[in-house]
Structure 1
Amino acid sequence: MADRTEPASAPPVMRKAKWRHVGPGIVVAATGVGAGDLVATLLAGSKFGYTLLWAAVIGCVVKIALAEAVGRWHLATGRTLFEGWRTLGAWTSVYFAVYVVIWGFVYGATAMSSSALPLVALFPDGPELKVWGILTGLVGLVFVWFNRYAVFEKVMTVLVGVMFVVVVYVAIRVSPNIGDAFAGLWPTLPDDSLLYTLGLIGGVGGTITMAAYGYWVNAKGWTDIGWLKVMRLDNRVAYLTTGIFVVAMLLVGAELLHATQLTLESGDKGLVDLGDILEERYGAATANLFLVGFFATSFTSLIGVWHGVSLLFADFVENVRGAGGGDGSAREVAAGSRERSLPFRAYLLWLTFPPMTLLWLDQPFAIVITYGVLGAFFMPFLALTLLWLLNTDRTPQQWRNGLLSNALLTVSGMLFIVLCVQQIRDLPW
């Protein structure tokens, strides 16, 4: 394959990175941090106190490296991520097709249930969980169906603001021990903490939606390498915000649960338990505020997946039909038209209606097992294929990985493989 470098006589004009440009990174970070991530972080804090704070910080660095690589691929090559995957062989298309169908079916039910839980707690005399779940799914469907990226980004930013303010407020409310918190920045591994540590580094904020970052970058109007500095600022701000968010939840777990030996129920219901604990300690107003933040966290993940993974699916269908883009001038148009395409809307419907059937099943065992196996493989797939794409002549020479990017992506890939193996081992075969 020939090296597709840009002509030396036409260096790109680099745009100046400004705060007003920030947007797609906030969207991808908020989508990746769901209720399950909050529970995982709380449990790590409740079990080990402040000791694993350093792992949360390293996790943010890992996500910055992954998202930067996705964005750089889109901007430097004039190709979408799925177009890049196709150059690696037909196996990537087969994997993605199987994965995205099964994952979407199960995730749809998970997102609707997670968004419904805080609403049931806030309105105990209202509809039951299944009804709230269906309503949140329908609201997400209508919102994404009738709005374009610009409106979607604004709403996501508002919800992120709610998440951020609420979680930081709760962290301050529990009066964390600042000295112990700073001590937790020194890397240590208590007994039986390895899996919790790996989960904090690799799990929080890491989902298929990281692959959607490049599509949101294009939808924003960033379509060539001249936007690289802007994209990098956007990415760093987003994951620094996420880092503060994750650290705040770990502080809550360490101070409110570890110090008092209180325990939470597993899964998203653990956040409802936390709401009860907050009400007992600090009153109904603090508890209700936390539940609002819980809803914002879950609903941003819902509409983020409804939008971002539908863009990925639409690009997949375009490429299978042989209608994929390939030059930067066409991608801004493609990013807008993709939101109105039949494949985009078909996947929206797939995420919304078939998963509603799972809300009536107590233990959809076989599907959950299949989802767990496939889901565990996506993040190593993303990290390792990015290494492949960004170190070969698929990427112009001057925009390929440097030593730092290669080191972070390699560490990420190995980390996600370990997490993948552990998740498969933990499944109830």
Structure 2
Amino acid sequence: MGTEMNTAADSAPRTTETNSTGRQASSQPRWTGWVRNLGPGIIVVMSWLGTGDFINASVAGSNFGYALVWTLLIGTLSRYFIVSAMAKYQLCNAVGDETILDGYGRVWKGFPVGIGVTTCILGFVYVSFLTLAAATALNEVFSYVLPLGTWGIPLWAVVTTVAAFVITSRRNGHFRSLEIVSQLTMAVLVACFLWALIGTGVDFGSLFGGLFFEMPKGEAGYITAASTAVGLIGAVGGSAANLLYPYLLHEKGWKGPEHRNTQRLDLGFSTMVMFGLVLAVWVVAAETLHGTGASVSDASGLARMMEKAIGPAGPPVMWVAIFFTVFNNIVTQPRVFARMLVESLHKSNPARVDRIKARRDLTGVDDKEIFSYDRLFWILLTVMLVVPIVFSLPSMPGMVIVTMLGNSINVVTVPAIIIGLIVMTSRRDLMTPGHANKWWETTILVAIGLVGLWATYELVLSIANGLG
């Protein structure tokens, strides 16, 4: 697990050294020490990113150029506010709650189990797509030297799953493994898109213009811009993946208000990284596809876009970036989602924990680590990681059904997450003095929540139309 830092380290990490008089003298703040202590933000940001984010950015860039970049900015800020509020409750609550689900349990005792069940189902849906995407990326990268035909994708899906299980099943050093994978992912993405931006160039005038609420001309364009912004804010505001961050804080060892400043810097820096990466895809699409009539609808389209940007090396580079992006998701999401459900069951049924402790000697094991000794955790983790291999088999139907299932579950999750969060962080009896939401913070969360509810309504209509 990560090392815990003290209050002084939150504001400005310093080193001390002994001078000639034998006394310790404080040196200047070492920002390298602060950077080394970052981690949860980069892990969660890399787990938020997926091919869907890149495809959406490329679609917007190819269709509207730079005109709607402001929607990306609003969506990113919305996610920051939502996740920061979750982190604030976990770090600054006054009632001893160690995880965000403990807080949801104070809003309603059925909340934790409900969220745990829905996130596990969503985790299975997510991993089904992610495993297929990772296997496809590896198959494309190695097809020139190791052509495997129609069974290439299933075989690479097995390789991906085995590698993911090795990382997610570690009790000791799991968080450090996530940090390494996330740092590699960030490095690959930065190198990939920096190369592409050098190849395409950037129209900085249009880019900055796109940050100032520029609208495409015409009513249809306006409607599209508005719906894009609203949909983006609603999706990120209520995403179940937002719940990953508080749990990663717990694994890092950040507990208590003294870590709030470092947490905000960690999340702020990481959110800017996410904004920059998605913006880079947007710019490449705007420079290569806007005005040509071409667009991007899948991962293969992203590879073709990169070929336009940097030449023949583009597709392999993009496939490598896609693999690292989705693999980071696979090793981060299932473990946390399975943990949430198991811990919620432990909280509602303490006798289950007692039985686990009775079966084996867990002296010295923190109560919050008991989840990894519960058989249910390993069953859930195995199902979420292994069963998705089925969807990589040739001519395997059923992904549409899985998609519908995931969307249906998300309809339930979105309002619950946002409403519960607003209640938790606004109650002064639950928060330490000075950390309950101020009026403007509650206003922002309510606004994001309303947009999230609107997005949920639109999702319900799309599901109904799909079933019809």
State TM-score, norm by structure 1. 0.87
Distance 1:63 1:364 in 2: 28
1:261 aligned counterpart, secondary structure = coil
Is the Cα contact below 8 Å between 2:124 and 2:388 reproduced in 1?
yes
The residue that corresponds to 1:219 in the other structure is 251
Say which is worse superposed, 19-28 or 415-424, in terms of deviation: 415-424
Distance 1:149 1:303 in 2: 10
Is the Cα contact below 8 Å between 1:380 and 1:412 reproduced in 2?
no
The residue that corresponds to 2:445 in the other structure is 409
Question: Which one of the candidate residues 134, 137, 155 is aligned to 1:118?
Answer: 137
Question: Could you tell me which amino acid in structure 2 is paired with residue 169 of structure 1?
Answer: W
Is the Cα contact below 8 Å between 2:102 and 2:112 reproduced in 1?
no
1:262 aligned counterpart, secondary structure = coil
The residue that corresponds to 2:122 in the other structure is 103
The residue that corresponds to 2:326 in the other structure is 298
Distance 2:319 2:386 in 1: 26
Say which is worse superposed, 396-405 or 20-29, in terms of deviation: 396-405
Question: Could you tell me which amino acid in structure 2 is paired with residue 289 of structure 1?
Answer: V
Give the deviation of 1:415 after TM superposition. 1.8
Is the Cα contact below 8 Å between 1:313 and 1:347 reproduced in 2?
no
Say which is worse superposed, 28-37 or 310-319, in terms of deviation: 310-319
Query: Is 1:236 paired with 2:268?
Result: yes
Say which is worse superposed, 60-69 or 90-99, in terms of deviation: 90-99
Distance 1:121 1:30 in 2: 22
Distance 2:237 2:47 in 1: 8
Distance 1:382 1:426 in 2: 21
CA distance 1:425–1:188, shift in 2 (3 Å): farther
Distance 2:309 2:208 in 1: 25
Give the deviation of 1:251 after TM superposition. 1.0
Q: How many corresponding residue pairs? A: 409
The residue that corresponds to 1:182 in the other structure is 208
Give RMSD over aligned pairs: 2.6
Structure 1 residue runs of 5 or longer lacking an equivalent are 1-11, 326-331
Distance 2:199 2:443 in 1: 39
Question: Which one of the candidate residues 159, 163, 171 is aligned to 1:139?
Answer: 163
The residue that corresponds to 1:3 in the other structure is none
Give the deviation of 1:13 after TM superposition. 4.6
CA distance 1:225–1:281, shift in 2 (3 Å): closer
Distance 1:340 1:44 in 2: 46
Is the Cα contact below 8 Å between 2:164 and 2:331 reproduced in 1?
yes
Question: Could you tell me which amino acid in structure 1 is paired with residue 405 of structure 2?
Answer: T
Distance 2:271 2:319 in 1: 23
Question: Could you tell me which amino acid in structure 2 is paired with residue 29 of structure 1?
Answer: V
CA distance 1:253–1:279, shift in 2 (3 Å): closer
Query: Is 1:399 paired with 2:435?
Result: yes
Question: Could you tell me which amino acid in structure 2 is paired with residue 69 of structure 1?
Answer: A
Question: Which one of the candidate residues 432, 438, 461 is aligned to 1:425?
Answer: 461
Say which is worse superposed, 65-74 or 375-384, in terms of deviation: 375-384
Give the deviation of 1:368 after TM superposition. 2.6
Give the deviation of 1:386 after TM superposition. 0.9
Distance 1:387 1:288 in 2: 44
The residue that corresponds to 1:319 in the other structure is 347
2:66 aligned counterpart, secondary structure = coil
Percent sequence identity over matched residues? 21
Distance 1:365 1:290 in 2: 26
Query: Is 1:209 paired with 2:241?
Result: yes
CA distance 1:337–1:219, shift in 2 (3 Å): farther
Question: Could you tell me which amino acid in structure 1 is paired with residue 184 of structure 2?
Answer: V
CA distance 1:165–1:376, shift in 2 (3 Å): farther
1:284 aligned counterpart, secondary structure = coil
The residue that corresponds to 1:348 in the other structure is 381
CA distance 1:280–1:256, shift in 2 (3 Å): closer
Distance 1:55 1:323 in 2: 49
Query: Is 1:89 paired with 2:115?
Result: no
Question: Could you tell me which amino acid in structure 2 is paired with residue 254 of structure 1?
Answer: A
The residue that corresponds to 1:16 in the other structure is 10
Say which is worse superposed, 360-369 or 16-25, in terms of deviation: 360-369
CA distance 1:376–1:45, shift in 2 (3 Å): farther
Is the Cα contact below 8 Å between 2:234 and 2:453 reproduced in 1?
no
Distance 1:231 1:276 in 2: 38
Alignment map for 1:306-385 (pairs within 5 Å):
306-322=334-350, 333-339=366-372, 341-360=374-393, 361-385=396-420
CA distance 1:49–1:376, shift in 2 (3 Å): farther
Is the Cα contact below 8 Å between 2:196 and 2:309 reproduced in 1?
no
1:259 aligned counterpart, secondary structure = coil
Question: Could you tell me which amino acid in structure 1 is paired with residue 204 of structure 2?
Answer: I
Distance 1:407 1:253 in 2: 35
Is the Cα contact below 8 Å between 2:45 and 2:270 reproduced in 1?
yes
CA distance 1:98–1:204, shift in 2 (3 Å): closer
Question: Which one of the candidate residues 59, 71, 77 is aligned to 2:75?
Answer: 59
The residue that corresponds to 1:329 in the other structure is none
Is the Cα contact below 8 Å between 1:14 and 1:228 reproduced in 2?
no
Distance 2:205 2:462 in 1: 36
Is the Cα contact below 8 Å between 1:59 and 1:201 reproduced in 2?
yes
Query: Is 1:194 paired with 2:226?
Result: yes
Which has the larger Rg?
Answer: 2
1:106 aligned counterpart, secondary structure = helix
Is the Cα contact below 8 Å between 2:41 and 2:266 reproduced in 1?
yes
Query: Is 1:250 paired with 2:274?
Result: no
Query: Is 1:72 paired with 2:83?
Result: no
The residue that corresponds to 2:48 in the other structure is 32
Is the Cα contact below 8 Å between 1:34 and 1:205 reproduced in 2?
no
Give the deviation of 1:119 after TM superposition. 1.4
Question: Could you tell me which amino acid in structure 2 is paired with residue 171 of structure 1?
Answer: L
Distance 1:320 1:169 in 2: 51
State TM-score, norm by structure 2. 0.80
